[in-house]
Structure formats: C-alpha cells, structure tokens
C-alpha cells in the first residue's frame, strides 16, 4: 500500500463514490477535458463520460443552480469552484435556495461544493481567501474543513452521502505537502466529529484546516521547553463538535483559538463565545485568538507572511497563555 497526497485522497474519494452510486456526478469549469484547475478530476471524463462529468460555462451561479435542481430530483452533484473566492458569485443560490429548500418544501438537497481555499501559495486577494465563516451562520448548510489526508478522503465520502448541501473547504497549501497511507475498503469520517490531533495537558489549541498542520509543528517546538500542547482538529464547523472543545478546555484550563480566516467575523469568535458561555469557570487565562489580519490577502510573499498566522505568532500566543 503506497502513500497518497491530500488532493489524491480527494480524487480517490470522488472516484469511488462515482463508481458506487450512479446518481453521483461532477460539474464545474474545466473539470472534464482539462481535468480541473488542480487536476483533481483528471481522467474522470474518459472513465465516466458525459453527462456524469460536465464542463460548465464560466458561471458559478449556473453551477449552483444546476446542482440544486438536480439534487432536488435525486442526483448527487459534486460541484467544483476553481477557487473558494468565486463562490461569492453563487452565494444567493447557496444561502437562499440550497440551504432552505428542505425547510420550505420538504425535498432534500444532497450536493457537495468543493472549495479550494486558503493562502500560503501566493494567490493574492482573489485566489486565497478563507470564506467558511460566511456560511457557518446559514441554517441548512454543512461546512467541513479536512486537515489530513485521511480526513480529506473520509469527509468527502461522507459529504457525498449526506442528504444536505455540504461545503467542502479543501486547503490548497496542503494539496501536495501531506502524504499518508490510507485503509482499504469503503469507509467514511462522520461529519460533526472532532478529533484530538495531539494530546496535551497545558493548553488547548482549537483549530481546523491548514492551521492544524502549523499548530502541530509549533507544538513539537514547545515540547522541548516542557509546554504540552493539546490540539483539537474540528474537522467540521457545522455541525460543530462542541463537547470535544469543552472537554479539552476543562482538561487544560487554557485555550488558543486558531484559524487562517481574518479575525473579525471569523469562526473563532463563535468558538470563543461558546467556551466563555459553557466553560468560563474552567479558564485560568483569557481566551486568545490567532487569525489573519483584517485586510484582503496580499499577493507579495513578504506581505502575505505578515498577514497570515505564522508559526511565530502561534508560538507567542501559546506562551503568553501558558504564562498568564
């Protein structure tokens, strides 16, 4: 059994689901003949043919609309946004139709929207944002953010099988940096179940996506100084595994909330609020948030590094929390 990358895990999950269920199909810009902007669907057109692999016009609102309509009729579309930033063009379809159709009329809307997200790849203000928080406040949508090769595959398979619209935020920085061997057979990672990425006793880092990777590197550095960091990988933002967060905070009594999205309005504010509401008496230090600056994503490498949470920022926040 050979190791595969994060993006290969996503590709493998879609490939298996396309074979497993004839109602599953893929659509998006350049996903067929070209194989997708990041080659996630390369060879799918030859394997599955049309109409199961559909190249669409350059219109995100049309992609969303077609996905919703076909999902209501029993299909299970996997729609690709070439970059997560472009989902803004299909925002109305997602929040006013996909999210509400079951509540209003009764039919399910089983669709997955693939959203290549995040910075660290010098994509600039139109190709590197983290817009997950836009959707976490919309009842009816599910939001997942895999941080490992295992979860990239397992969460995708679970998302395809879910009867609700699922926004699948896949981090471009991780695409070919992570590699792992995966189990054989048919398995999923259930939506809404966080995992303890690293056991620790001194401070909890609550995070998701690429920041799980960065937090892990920082935790190894701090271990040399006797600081034992626990890392909670949320995996899903909606549904949120609130109990996993609270259990970790009750254990360590200190918490850093970390994400790559901008601080103001980011999902870290919701996590912090729940900790303050339900675990305040267990805190021995203020909740600290580490996030990107409240600006558009810069294109210049040195500016993007200043904009995003870097290992030094994470380390400083953890040290300040532990020594408070």
Active site residues: 127
Q: H-helix or E-strand containing 269?
A: helix 267-278
Residues 288, 320 contacting (CB under 8 angstroms): yes
Cα 136 to Cα 149: distance, rounded to the nearest angstrom: 23
Pairing verdict, β 53-55 and 24-28: parallel
Cα 131 to Cα 309: distance, rounded to the nearest angstrom: 16
63: phi then psi, degrees, rounded to nearest 5: -60, -45
Cβ atoms < 10 Å from Cβ of 314: 24
The closest of 191, 287, 295 to 248, measured between CA atoms, is 287
Residues 12, 157 contacting (CB under 8 angstroms): no
Match 């001194």 to its residue by tokens: 202
Residues 189, 156 contacting (CB under 8 angstroms): no
324: its two tokens = 């408070």
Distances, alpha carbon 168 to alpha carbons 145, 191, 195, 203, in Å:
6, 11, 18, 29
Match 């406040």 to its residue by tokens: 137
């Amino acid at each position: 059994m050979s190791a595969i990358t994060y993006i290969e895990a996503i590709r493998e999950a879609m490939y298996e689901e396309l074979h497993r269920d004839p109602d599953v199909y893929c659509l998006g810009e350049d996903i067929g003949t070209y194989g997708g902007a990041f080659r996630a669907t390369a060879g799918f057109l030859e394997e599955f043919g049309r109409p199961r692999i559909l190249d669409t016009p350059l219109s995100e609102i049309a992609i969303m609309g077609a996905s919703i309509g076909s999902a209501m009729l029993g299909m299970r579309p996997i729609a690709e946004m070439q970059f997560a930033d472009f989902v803004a063009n299909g925002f109305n379809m997602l929040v006013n139709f996909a999210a509400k159709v079951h509540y209003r009329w009764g039919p399910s809307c089983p669709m997955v929207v693939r959203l290549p997200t995040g910075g660290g790849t010098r994509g600039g203000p139109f190709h590197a944002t983290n817009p997950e928080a836009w959707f976490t406040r919309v009842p009816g949508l599910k939001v997942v953010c895999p941080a490992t090769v295992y979860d990239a595959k397992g969460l995708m398979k679970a998302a395809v099988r879910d009867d609700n619209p699922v926004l699948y935020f896949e981090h471009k920085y991780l695409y070919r940096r992570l590699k792992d061997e995966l189990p054989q057979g048919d398995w999923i990672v259930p939506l809404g179940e966080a995992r303890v990425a690293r056991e620790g006793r001194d401070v909890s880092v609550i995070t998701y996506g690429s920041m799980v990777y960065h937090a892990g590197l920082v935790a190894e550095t701090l271990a040399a100084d006797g600081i034992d960091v626990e890392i909670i990988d949320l995996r899903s933002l909606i549904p949120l595994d609130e109990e996993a967060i609270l259990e970790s905070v009750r254990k360590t009594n200190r918490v850093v909330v970390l994400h790559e999205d901008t601080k103001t309005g980011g999902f870290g504010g919701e996590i912090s609020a729940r900790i303050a509401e339900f675990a305040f008496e267990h805190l021995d230090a203020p909740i600290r948030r580490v996030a990107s600056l409240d600006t558009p994503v810069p294109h210049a490498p040195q500016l993007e590094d200043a904009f995003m949470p870097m290992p030094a920022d994470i380390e400083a926040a953890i040290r300040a929390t532990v020594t408070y």
